[in-house]
Amino acid sequence: METHLRWTRRPSRLVRLLVATLGGLSLVVGITGNAHADPTPGDIEKQIDEKWNQIEPIIEQHNQLKIELANNKTKQKKLEDQIAPLRSQVDAAFDRVSAFAIRQYKTGNVSKLDAMLTTGSPDTFIDQMTMLNMLAKDEQIKIKDVLASKKEYDAQKAPIDELVAKQAEQEAALAAQETQINGEIKSLQDMRLKAYGSSGGTGNLRPVACPYEYTGGPGTTAAKIACQQIGKKYVWATEGPNTFDCSGLTLYAWKQAGYTLRHYTKWQYDDTSRVSRANLKAGDLVFFYSDFHHVGLYVGGGWMVHAPNPSEPVQMKKIDSEPISGYGRVA
């Protein structure tokens, strides 16, 4: 069976990266407290972009981890459900042998009782039963098959138990940083509002018609849905209908168009077919940065709708404003 083991090798690395990133954010926020002039809007935007590009990969990895953890817990539960009736059969077999051993004791057949009591684990149960030759041969075979099945399921479940424990620890460590992340991002947002004001006008978020072009089909439907989300807040690890992160927005738009995407940028890249820039049409996904940690939904004319980061709401943006790593078509 397939399990995702790559997370088990790097919990401390992720936490160290997160702590280092947040430390960097604290330094940025501290700019307003010195004796120099307030940073210009351009300086603030540059710092927000740089710091967010460090944080967003962690958020996307957290999305991935939560899904993998849930999947592994499902596998764990399925195996436990398969093992439970076998365990009951083993327990019942021990009860029957125990009753038999008591009868042997009462009749003075002590040597066979000793054979029963000296070892009590399921692994030696078959040997005990062969020594107690008064038990029926068909029950020996039945219990032997049950124990073999239980051992097989136990062997499958052991690595999943270990993986779930490690992933749960990693997920808890990342989740514990959420309050700190939100506090740091709020400080950056306060700096941004001080420089730009708090109007958040639709004109800035939707500078041209959205979708910019209609090509028909489910892609246009997804593009129209994405456009309707403009102005809504970014909240990481959410997929609508009121808040989104980047892959949550694309997932939501395409879900309304009747298609399923997974909530992780790299998985969405894997789930889509490659398309050239020259053949882009409304609804296509545009992926950014070498590690594919950001995604937007193309709406035509070189524009996309995306959920940028917690300091900005869902909005339109030119796709060339960030380093493109690939394009994907859902349908």
**Which residue reads 């940083």 in tokens?**
177
246 is annotated as an active-site residue: yes
62 is annotated as an active-site residue: no
Query: Are 86 and 149 in contact, with CB atoms under 8 Å apart?
Result: yes
Which of helix, strand or coil describes residue 139? helix
CA distance 251 to 268: 9
Active-site entry in 62, 263, 293, 306: 306
| Pair of tokens at residue 186 | 């709020």
> What Rg do the C-alpha atoms of the chain give, in angstroms?
30
Provide the 10 A C-beta neighbour count for residue 114.
13
Give the contacts of 253 (CB within 8 A, at least 6 positions apart): 222, 223, 225, 226, 229, 283, 297, 305
Give the contacts of 9 (CB within 8 A, at least 6 positions apart): none
294 is annotated as an active-site residue: yes
Active-site entry in 62, 263, 293, 294: 294
CA distances from 75 to 2, 148, 164 (A): 10, 20, 10
Closest CA to 8 of 219, 216, 163, 227: 163
Active-site entry in 62, 227, 246, 293: 246
Write b or e for each residue in 94-106: b if 16 or more Cβ atoms lie within 10 A of its Cβ, otherwise e.
beebeebbeebee
List active site positions: 246, 294, 306
